[in-house]
Amino acid sequence: MKTLIWFRNDLRVKDHEPLVRASEAGKVAAVYCFDPRHFETTTYGFPKTNSLRAQFLIKSVSALRSTFRKLGGDLIIRQGNPEEIIPKLIKELQIENLFFHGEVTSEEKNVELRIENSVEIRIKKYWGHEMVHPEDLPFQPDEIPDVFTQFRKKIEKSSMIRDPLPVPNHPEFISVDDPGEIPHLKDLGLNAPPADDRSVLEFKGGEEEAWKRLNHYFFESDELRNYKYKRNGLLGADFSSKFSPWLAHGCLSARSIHHQVEKYEREVHENVSTYWMKFELIWRDYFRYSARKHGDKIFKLGGIQQKSLDKRTDENIFQKWRDGTTGIPFIDANMRELKQTGYMSNRGRQNVASFLAQNLNFDWRWGASWFESMLIDYDVCSNWGNWAYNSTVGHDPRNRYFNIVGQAQKYDPNGEYVRHWLQELKYVPDEFVHEPWKMSEDQQKLNECIVGQDYPKPMINLEDSYEEIKKRG
């Protein structure tokens, strides 16, 4: 039997069920398609995938091809719509089976459906993005609880986590005359991203790099034992695991991380931090199963709550938020880090989302789309789920919001992070670094930061905005 494996957000060979089953069935071929729709300009005026994420993707695909070549085969690369390319390959290579990992959101599912409707061979969809397999849930996947705590407790009590699957031994590959070339950024309509040595970590795509990072964080630096206590840090490589870019591209599976956590617990140390790593993986599963349950509601302004909202959509307001020129240092520092590096801490993401959706009362979908474009760890379910959550239209309908300056003072008490990204505030003392507008004119001159000239005036009065949020109820 000849089987074609269609790779998408699963760029690995470890714990890859379609690859394992295809190898058991007979000869295999593998394909990755650079879908041009992923690089189009959005309705908001920026690329759906920006150069930083595209660069990580290209490196991850290149690494997967290298792995296949070491195994004695190759990864077929094509540019174009998968629903057009895959039927041609099936005919050309006389394929009898098509195996792939299933997705849960509409754009991806629609492509799957178009392929299924255009070929007459056996198609098998596997589930490998989740930590808990759909068949191992204590409820039907489309009937998950609407409260995370209920989901988590049932998972922890009743669900097993399957062991990761090994790489197949000596898979037999189908000979391919034209494996294709991996595109460069310019082939995708993108320019080279900015180089910035202020990034917390040099993120390199690919499965090998993913395992290097895991081994470093768990076993070499032994930072896993500190995860619960340091994960809200803002500067430095090891304040959190930083696995998310590799998870998002499928260079590493959630099951593999869980398996390695349990190995760490057996061989090194077990504490609240090792539990918390599993806890976060359950959150990731929850957003994925929520997207599967609620469908396109996760992309609507009113979210899964189906709220009727009236939100701002002024491009000038959005641009200040996007470019990190709001005049609120903690927001601006995080947004500039994202723009320069494609990364932002979890603490930062929650604050900038709350600021856009709540303080500015802006259409949160613009922010979610900007994150989709910029984040190297963009994952459709987690991104849109978290944005909805922080915008009061997701799994927590309460009118919650962050006190931005309070958060900054708690997590960046000395202003080290803010000064790292906002050179304009280099000489501003700790007392004013998160609220430079409170300096007198003489203090501004003394500290070489004239508000409104060297650094923007705040675009809103934060205290007034909190009162407006409370009135919205």
Cα separation, 214 vs 262, whole angstroms = 13
Annotated binding site for FAD, which residues? Answer: 227, 240-244, 377-379
> Of 226, 323, 317, 220, which is closest to residue 272 (Cα–Cα)?
226
Taking CA 285 as the corner, what is the angle to CA 283 and CA 290, rounded to the nearest 5 degrees?
95
Which token pair is 167? Answer: 């790489």
Tell me the three state secondary structure of residue 204: coil
Please check whether residue 102 is in contact with residue 126, taking contact to mean a CB–CB distance below 8 angstroms. Answer: yes
CA distances from 78 to 10, 52, 113, 369 (A): 16, 21, 20, 26
CA distances from 249 to 149, 210, 354 (A): 27, 10, 26
Cα separation, 470 vs 464, whole angstroms = 10
- Dihedral (CA of 169, 7, 58, 340) sign: negative
Please check whether residue 241 is in contact with residue 200, taking contact to mean a CB–CB distance below 8 angstroms. Answer: no
Taking CA 221 as the corner, what is the angle to CA 219 and CA 223, rounded to the nearest 5 degrees?
90
Alpha-carbon Rg for the chain, nearest whole angstrom, is: 23
Annotated binding site, which residues? Answer: 227, 240-244, 377-379
Please check whether residue 48 is in contact with residue 40, taking contact to mean a CB–CB distance below 8 angstroms. Answer: yes
- DSSP string for residues in 24-38: HHSEEEEEEEE-GGG
